[in-house]
Structure 1
């Protein structure tokens, strides 16, 4: 491969990244809310016994399948949130926050706290997950566009 062919190959990679970033410009608000709902269901399930936890988990996993399918239809691919780069700190912070919320739900279950407490913890998890989804999307888009100078 000569230098001209190599430059053309690199330019085509930049074009693909730019196209993906522009497609990802608009992630509808419902998509962030759906991600938040999945996370909230996973968190909320920890506040109950297996009879309620299992169906909540099943609904959450079905929702993940539907979200992945929608992303593939809309963007042509699904980008896993666990990736290296500038989005990784957001992912790790979200993981830590969701684990803390799950431990809060487990404590609420073991201590016999009210349904309102459990729903409150899940609501906080929802808000944190939505905010993380928005932040992750913005960082990912900037990262893609930065690579296309």
Structure 2
């Protein structure tokens, strides 16, 4: 491969990344809300304990399957949030916040705190997850466009 062919191949990769970024420009608000709902459902299950925890886990996993299928239909692929790159700090911050919420729910369950407290913790997890989803999408798009967004 000569240098011109190599440059053309690299340009083709850049063009594919730009096309993906432009295709993923619009992530509907319901998609962020759905992600937040899944995360909050998983967190709430820890506070409620058995048998609710298992039922909420099954519901959340079904919702994940549906979201992945929708992403593949809409974008032609599913991008895992746990990836290298500019989105990693957003993912790690979300993971840390949700781990704190998990510990909060477990404490609420073990201490016999009210249902309102458990729903409050899950509500905070929902808000954090929705915000992280919005930020993650923006960072991912900016990364694909290499700052041209």
TM-score range for the pair, normalised by the shorter chain length? over 0.9
Distance 2:128 2:86 in 1: 18
Q: How many residues align?
A: 148
Distance 1:115 1:99 in 2: 20
Name the residue aligned to 1:73: 73
Name the residue aligned to 2:105: 105
User: CA-to-partner distance for each residue in 1:13-64, whole Å, 9 max, x for gaps?
Assistant: 1110000000111000000000000000010000012200000000000111
After TM superposition, the score normalised by the length of structure 2 is 0.97
Alignment of 1:1-149 (within 5 A): 1-146=1-146
Distance 2:49 2:32 in 1: 28
Structure 1 segments unaligned to the other structure (5+ residues): none
Distance 1:20 1:36 in 2: 24
Distance 2:34 2:41 in 1: 10
SS at match of 2:145: helix
Q: Contact 1:14 / 1:147 at 8 angstroms: preserved in 2? A: no
Distance 1:147 1:3 in 2: 26
TM-superposed CA distance for 1:147, in Å, is: 7.5
SS at match of 1:146: coil
Distance 1:50 1:29 in 2: 32
SS at match of 2:48: coil
After TM superposition, the score normalised by the length of structure 1 is 0.97
Structure 2 segments unaligned to the other structure (5+ residues): none
Distance 2:87 2:14 in 1: 19
Question: Which 4+ residue blocks in structure 1 deviate beyond 2 angstroms?
Answer: none
SS at match of 1:50: coil
